[in-house]
Amino acid sequence: MIKIEKRNDVPITLYFFTPFIAIILTILGGGIIFYILGFNPIEALKFFFITPISNLYGFSELLLKATPLCLIAIGLSFCFKSNNWNIGAEGQLTFGAIVGGGVALLFYNQEGFYILPLVILAGAFGGMIFALIPAILKTYFNTNEILVSLMLVYVSKLLLDYLVVGPWSNPEGFNFPETRQFSDSSRMPQLFEGLRIHAGIFLALAAVIISWFILYKTYLGFQIKVSGLSLKTAKYAGFKGKTMILVVFMISGASAGLAGVGEITGPIGQLHRMISPDYGFTAIIVAFLGRLNPFGIIFASLVVALTYLGAETAQIFLQIPKYTGQVFQGMILFFLLASDYLLFFKIKILNLKKNELRH
């Protein structure tokens, strides 16, 4: 008979070490998959994990890809830490991009230093408003935030579809589903000539520092942590649960909105239907891989961003199917959850015969 028991004293160092174990297991698992597919595993892994960042250009692309993931995951960590399961970051990203993009289009062909900040603020505001919907429904009508936030993803995507096909489509664009290219005054400044990394990366870094401060140095952060550990304790301690829920959703939504507006004012430069390859969902993996810790999330976003780039390089150089990238993301999450399970629980194999004798 197998018995599962909770471990009592889990060392905190081990808790932060398991993500590395998960990554190592993913690499090993990936090597085995490559081997089964008929590729030289060492060579395939090299093209997957090393080639994409072997030059500075590649590294800049890694940062570009990690920026939205990091921003969203930081926001999600507030929700997840306090037991609020916002899985609609993709929708908040899209709605932020819609509001920010709308402002950018409003200032089409105008100049002014104030335009970009307005666009960015509008994006954050849009994401925040959109995240408030599941938050308000949860606090005042007791709905399930998982369901509501997830369904709202489709609402915002359909709204974006409608806008880029209809009222906001480029008048000179032959009805193709996209808006005008934004003017330079609403584009993120490029950091280096010839590279695509843009000022959005500073937003992500600022988010990391600010969230660290909020989570570890303020009363709100304390409330979030206690609610995460035990809702009953939080209530007993007299925390105003409703306000906290609204606040964490707003933070989360604003971060996702920033990520969305960073993409459209950064590398994309317009609104169309493909502004995000599901960053909002991938960021959930990032948040957990980073242990919901702001600095852990930086590291996790780089690792997950690398799986995207690696999948491309592996296909270009070895023609390995591109979907291996998603397989890697799945494996990371699987190994992380599995090692967490083994970390918090121990499995005992009991000897049945002995038990029977006793009875």
Residues at the site binding other proteins, with contacts judged by CB under 8 A? 55-57, 60-61, 64, 161, 165-166, 174-177, 181, 192-196, 263, 266-269, 272, 274-277, 308-309, 312-313, 315-317, 319, 321-323
Pair 308, 330: CB distance under 8 Å: no
Residue 258 pairs with which residues in a beta bridge?
Answer: none
- Judged by beta carbon, residue 158 or residue 206, the one nearer other proteins is 158
CB of 294 to other proteins, least distance (A): 24
CB of 89 to other proteins, least distance (A): 17
CB of 161 to other proteins, least distance (A): 6
CB of 307 to other proteins, least distance (A): 13
**CA 341 from centre of chain:** 22
CB of 177 to other proteins, least distance (A): 5
CB of 334 to other proteins, least distance (A): 22
CB of 336 to other proteins, least distance (A): 25
- Judged by beta carbon, residue 134 or residue 269, the one nearer other proteins is 269
Tokens of 359: 């009875």
Residue 347 pairs with which residues in a beta bridge?
Answer: 4
- Judged by beta carbon, residue 128 or residue 283, the one nearer other proteins is 283
CB of 293 to other proteins, least distance (A): 27
Give the length of the chain.
359
- Judged by beta carbon, residue 18 or residue 92, the one nearer other proteins is 92
- Judged by beta carbon, residue 169 or residue 227, the one nearer other proteins is 169
| Residue at 273: amino acid letter | R
Pair 314, 52: CB distance under 8 Å: no
Per-residue 3-state assignment (H helix, E strand, C coil) for the chain:
CEEEEECCCCCHHHHHHHHHHHHHHHHHHHHHHHHHCCCCHHHHHHHHHCHHHCCHHHHHHHHHHHHHHHHHHHHHHHHHHCCCCCCCHHHHHHHHHHHHHHHHHHCCCCCCCCHHHHHHHHHHHHHHHHHHHHHHHHHHHCCCHHHHHHHHHHHHHHHHHHHHHCCCCCCCCCCCCECCCCCHHHCCCECCCCCCCECHHHHHHHHHHHHHHHHHHCHHHHHHHHHHHCHHHHHHCCCCHHHHHHHHHHHHHHHHHHHHHHHHHHHHCCCECCCCCCHHHHHHHHHHHCCCCHHHHHHHHHHHHHHHHHHHHHHHHHCCCCCHHHHHHHHHHHHHHHHHHHHHEEEEECCHHHHHHHC
- Judged by beta carbon, residue 68 or residue 88, the one nearer other proteins is 68
- Judged by beta carbon, residue 316 or residue 350, the one nearer other proteins is 316
- Judged by beta carbon, residue 311 or residue 336, the one nearer other proteins is 311
CB of 316 to other proteins, least distance (A): 6
The tally of CA atoms less than 13 A away on the side-chain side of residue 219 is 6
Tokens of 58: 């590649």
- Judged by beta carbon, residue 270 or residue 339, the one nearer other proteins is 270
CB of 181 to other proteins, least distance (A): 8
- Judged by beta carbon, residue 196 or residue 225, the one nearer other proteins is 196
Residue 359 pairs with which residues in a beta bridge?
Answer: none
